[in-house]
Amino acid sequence: MSVQSQSDPQPTLSIFDAVTIMVGIVVGIGIFKTPSLIAANVGSEAAFLGVWVAGGLVTLIGALCYAELAAAHPHAGGEYHFLGRAYGRPVAVLFGWARGSVIQTGAIAAVAFVLGDYAAQIVPLGPYGPAIYAAAAIIVLTGLNVAGTIQSKTLQIAVTFIEVGLIAAIIVWGLLGSAGEAVPAATTAPPSAALGLAMIFVLLTYGGWNEAAYLSGELRDPGRNMVRVLLIGTGVLVALYLAANAALLAILGLDGLRGSQAVATDMMRRVAGESGAIVVSLAIVVAALSTLNATIFTGARVYFAMARDITLLPRVGEWDERGRAPANGLIAQGAVALLLVVLGAASRDGFQAMVDYSAPVFWAFLLLVGLALPILRWREPDRVLPFKVPLYPLTPALFCLTCLYMLHASLAYTGKGALIGLGVVLAGLPLLLFQSRLADPGDAQPLPSADPAARGTPAQPALVQPGER
């Protein structure tokens, strides 16, 4: 048995479950917020749809890189585990701190604020109503995830299907409905247009696909199924986003998109009246719930992995066998997210504050994950790779260049929040003084879902040293 007799994650997720969670994470509030910002930074309708296709290709490239990493190194710690194997425990621990205090918790708070904004439109609770709704949603969904993976998974499947169904209805109404008065076609971009800025918003909307890596420790046969999850999930996302934006473009036109503050609501109001606008508002609330639940589900897995590698908070690394979830990690994550909600409530726009706070840190570590792929191939040349990224090394090189550009852009276009986020990451450096004596991050014991060819014997850690099979 392992250190402190801790239970391990069990392979309970099917391909269908994992794809549903992945789609539920990504198809959140972005599609309802970013089209107008993207339209303001392109010069034609063809360019508007083209940047969405380009964003899908970038997402596919990243998914292929993650598929190799997750299939060869399946672990509930996801990116934390990859970074630990590639760079050593100090980088992994710093990432775990960054994810737990900035990246994931910032994303949870941001989505919760969007949910709160729209819920407050239905039942106002005063000036702090959005923050109250945000905090309540985090508490309720964290409690559901603590109750168990099966309960959370069931809710996620139900909410994701409702969400995708509502977006599909918007697509059908948009493509088949009448726009009323003709919308003049736009021929020139506004003076402030910038194609690079448009791509930033596109990739923000596609963001979240990398969360699938945290499911590899609980996915059945991850060596074969991880690539299927990432490729199927990416295909669904690209198809859904292209269809939704084509529908918006058909009804509002490019100039209409540029002048809209709520594109989906304006589109539905034009084709279906006020009742259509209400449907969209409900769709956004459902989308936010779906994203929030899925982000909470995957986020706490890094607390579980990190706590096994530092001695400061050992109980956070315990896996609740009854609920099949990292219950203490979920509670810790919820507490940090609630703190960020309180801080965000003091700003003018809680959502924007959380994006500024987390974006640079997210892209910096995503760049390190991309670089980990060639590093691990070099360090472990004899490791069995159930899936190899095609066109190596071009594919990971393109992914890393994209991450580097996004890191630059996120620093250039965000405010003081970015500096605060980077400062919080540096504040986690003292955690390195509390490292345990295990040989490698996350390798205290093999996962039952890992491919036996990719791990050692039951009495050995999961790492296969160069020269071993």
- For residue range 291-302, what is the model confidence (pLDDT) as tens digits? 787 778 776 666
Instruction: Average the pLDDT over each of 147-151, 236-240, 285-289 and give the range with the smallest value.
Output: 147-151
pLDDT of residue 464: 33
Separation CA 212–CA 231 (nearest Å):
11
Question: Exposure of 25 by Cβ count < 10 A (0-12 exposed, 13-18 middle, 19+ buried)?
Answer: buried
Instruction: For 172-208, write each residue's pLDDT tens digit.
Output: 877 776 555 544 444 455 554 567 778 878 888 888 7
What's residue 152's pLDDT? 60
Contact 257, 31 (CB under 8 A): no
Encoding tokens for residue 327? 């219950």
pLDDT at 445 over 70: no
Query: For residues 267-281, b (16+ Cβ closer than 10 Å) or e, as one string?
Result: bbbbbbeeebbebbb
The CA-based diameter of the chain, rounded to the nearest angstrom, is 72
Q: What is the pLDDT of residue 322?
A: 54
* Mean per-residue pLDDT of the chain: 76
String of DSSP letters for 324-360: TB-HHHHHHHHHHHHHHHHHHHTSS-HHHHHHHHHHH
Angle at 79 between CA 74 and CA 85, to 5 degrees: 75
Task: Report residue 369's pLDDT band, with 50, 70 and 90 as the boundaries.
Answer: very high
Kindly report the CA angle at 465 between 461 and 468, in degrees rounded to 5?
105
Q: Does domain 15-436 match CATH 3.50.30.30?
A: no
Entry pTM: 0.73
* Calpha distance 73→223 (Å, rounded): 8
* pLDDT at site 3: 42
**For position 178, what pLDDT does the model report?**
56
Contacts of 166 (CB under 8 A, 6+ apart): 279, 282, 283, 286, 287
Q: How confident is the model at residue 2 (pLDDT cuts 50, 70, 90)?
A: very low
pLDDT band at 462 (very low <50, low <70, confident <90, very high): very low
The residue that leads in pLDDT, 321 or 127, is 127
Does position 248 have pLDDT exceeding 70, yes or no? yes
Instruction: Pick the range with the lowest mean pLDDT from 63-77, 179-193, 194-208, 271-285.
Output: 179-193
Residue 76 contacts residue 448 (beta carbons within 8 Å): no
pLDDT at 360 over 60: yes
DSSP letter, residue 429: G
Find the DSSP H helices in 177-221: 195-206
Q: What is the per-residue pLDDT for 304?
A: 64
